[in-house]
Amino acid sequence: MPDLGKYADTVLSAYVASIVLVVVLVVLTLRRGRKVRAEMKQVEQRMSKNG
């Protein structure tokens, strides 16, 4: 790792914050995808019952 000098804390905290935000976005996206998939399955079942 390069020597960051007095900016090491700032740079490393920015990296950590970025990684945390990316992980949060991925988790939220996956949760939303599961929810939408379940809703679509329910709609498809209703449509197949009604013709």
In contact, 4 and 11? CB cutoff 8 Å: yes
pLDDT of residue 19: 98
pLDDT at 50: 75
Domain boundaries, position 34: 5-50
> Going residue by residue through the chain (51 aa), what tens digit of pLDDT does each one get?
678 899 999 999 999 999 999 999 999 999 999 999 999 999 999 998 876
Give the pLDDT confidence score for residue 51 in this predicted structure: 63
Rounded-to-integer distance, Cα 42 and Cα 24, Å: 27
pLDDT of residue 44: 92
Distance CA 8, CA 1 (A): 11
Domain tally for the chain? 1
Phi, psi angle pair for 28, to nearest 5°: -65, -40
